[in-house]
Amino acid sequence: MKKMKSVRAAVTMTIATLLTTCLIGGSLGRYTTITSSADNSHIAYWGFSSANSISLEDLFSDEYENVKSQDGTDVIAPGTSGQSTFAFIFDRNGSITAPEVAYTFAVSVEASCDDEIKNNSNIQFKLDNGAYGTWDQLVASLKALSGSSSGTKVYAAGELPAAFSNASTTHTISWQWLFTDTANPAVQDAKDTAMGNATSPIGCSLAITISAVQIE
């Protein structure tokens, strides 16, 4: 009887051992799939700055050599000249050399000039190193700085207007009123004198607005 109990106990222990081994063995080998992802970002660079970029206040003056305004307003006269510089700053940020967004770039010109000045060939205007020409040619050249004769152009991300490609790019507006016309000085002197004696003011005004606006 003791022998039978011993055999049963041995069989039970053997079965338990086998079951335990099977369970442990099942935990040692299994299918495993793992996936992961991450992302990061930075604010898209803009780069344009309006700081100290446009100042046309010194284009005309109230005083030149041998010419002085009586009421402190700016004047022009035969033999006078002037110029003014302006820019639209783009600050490059290391390897980022243009805005990282698309945008509309515009050079808006509000220009007014009386016909007496526009039709006087001795009063001349120019932009940068170009040749002296008419008032209307100056206005057209200013608008073209946008990259389009219309004064407005759309740029893709990563593009800059050629006329404002870096922070050191500046543009200069110049004008001059020639003192004499050697071809026919008597005719020109008479025209200049008539302008100087006009009872109504004759003049020009110029305003430039440059803008860069992100496209939605």
> pLDDT digit string (tens) for 143-153?
999 999 999 99
**pLDDT for position 150:** 97
**pLDDT for position 201:** 87
Name the region of 128 (left: φ>0; alpha: ψ -120 to 50; beta: rest).
left
**pLDDT for position 91:** 87
What percent of the chain is helix, strand and coil (3-state, nearest 5)?
Answer: 25, 25, 50
Residue 161: pLDDT above 90? yes
Residue 73: pLDDT above 90? yes
**pLDDT for position 21:** 52
> Which has the higher per-residue pLDDT, 29 or 38?
38
**pLDDT for position 155:** 98
Residue 94: pLDDT above 70? yes
Which range scores top for mean pLDDT: 91-100, 128-137, 175-184? 128-137
Residue 53: pLDDT above 80? no
User: Considering the chain, what percentage of its residues have pLDDT values greater than 70?
Assistant: 86
Q: Kindly state the average pLDDT of the residues 43-52.
A: 85
Name the region of 51 (left: φ>0; alpha: ψ -120 to 50; beta: rest).
beta
User: Considering the chain, what percentage of its residues have pLDDT values greater than 90?
Assistant: 65
Q: What 3-state class would DSSP assign to 142?
A: helix
Integer CA distances (angstroms), 61 to 76, 80, 82, 84, 128, in order: 8, 10, 8, 11, 20
> Which has the higher per-residue pLDDT, 104 or 11?
104
Instruction: Measure the CA–CA gap between 177 and 127, rounded to whole angstroms.
Output: 15
Which range scores top for mean pLDDT: 23-32, 136-145, 189-198? 136-145
Q: Kindly state the average pLDDT of the residues 167-192.
A: 86
Tens of pLDDT, residue by residue over 173-183, are: 999 999 887 67
